[in-house]
Amino acid sequence: MCGRARCTLRADDIPRACHRTVANTRFLHTDRYRPSYNVSPGFNLPVLRREDASDGEGYALHCMKWGLIPSFTKKTDKPDHYKMFNARAESIDEKASFRRLIPKNRCLVAVEGFYEWKKDGSRKQPYYIHFKDGRPLVFAALYDSWQNSEGEILCTFTIVTTSSSSALQWLHDRMPVILGDKDSTDVWLGSSASSYKNVLKPYEESDLVWYPVTPGMGKPSFDGPECIKEIQLKTEGNTSISKFFSRKGAESEPIKQEQKISSHELIKTEPPTDLREEAKTEEGENDLKSRGCPHYQDATKVPIKRDYDTFSADSKPALANNDQVRENPVKKKEKGKTADDKQPTLFSFFGKR
Alpha carbons 169 and 20: distance in angstroms, whole number: 32
Q: What is the residue-wise DSSP string for 51-75?
A: -TT-SSS-EEEEEEEES---TTS-T
Question: 251 φ, ψ to 5°?
Answer: -70, -25
CA distances 323 to 295, 317, 318, 319, 329, Å, are 39, 12, 10, 6, 18
pLDDT score, position 288: 38
Residues contacting 128, CB < 8 A, separation 6+ = 6, 113, 114, 115, 210, 211, 212, 213, 227, 228, 230
Q: Which amino acids are annotated catalytic?
A: 2, 116
What element of type H or E holds 184?
helix 182-189
pLDDT of 160 over the 60 cut? yes
Q: What angle do CA 13, 19, 21 make, to 5 degrees?
A: 65
pLDDT of 153 over the 90 cut? yes
Question: 216 φ, ψ to 5°?
Answer: -60, -25
Encode pLDDT of 208-240 as tens digits.
999 999 999 999 999 999 999 999 998 755 444
Alpha carbons 157 and 34: distance in angstroms, whole number: 17
Alpha carbons 59 and 24: distance in angstroms, whole number: 7
- Greater confidence (99 vs 253) lies with 99
pLDDT score, position 249: 42
pLDDT of 155 over the 50 cut? yes
List the single range of 87-91, 137-141, 296-300 with lowest mean pLDDT. Answer: 296-300
The secondary structure of residue 178, as a DSSP letter, is B
pLDDT of 342 over the 80 cut? no
Encode pLDDT of 186-202 as tens digits.
999 987 878 899 999 99
Encode pLDDT of 92-110 as tens digits.
999 999 999 999 999 999 9
- Greater confidence (31 vs 191) lies with 31
pLDDT score, position 122: 86
pLDDT score, position 159: 98
Query: Considering the chain, what is the average pLDDT of its residues?
Result: 78
Alpha carbons 324 and 248: distance in angstroms, whole number: 48
pLDDT of 286 over the 90 cut? no
pLDDT of 283 over the 70 cut? no
CA distances 203 to 136, 167, 339, Å, are 14, 9, 91
Alpha carbons 45 and 18: distance in angstroms, whole number: 14
Name residue 254's amino acid. Answer: P
pLDDT of 48 over the 90 cut? yes
pLDDT score, position 180: 94
Alpha carbons 69 and 91: distance in angstroms, whole number: 18
Name residue 346's amino acid. Answer: L
Give the residue-averaged pLDDT of 294-317.
46
Alpha carbons 52 and 65: distance in angstroms, whole number: 19
Taking the CA of residue 298 as centre, how many other CA atoms within 13 Å lie in the half-sphere pointing to its CB?
15
What element of type H or E holds 282?
helix 282-291
Give the residue-averaged pLDDT of 320-348.
50
- In this structure, are residues 251 and 266 in contact, taking their beta carbons and an 8 Å threshold? no
pLDDT band, very low/low/confident/very high, at 318 (cuts 50, 70, 90): very low
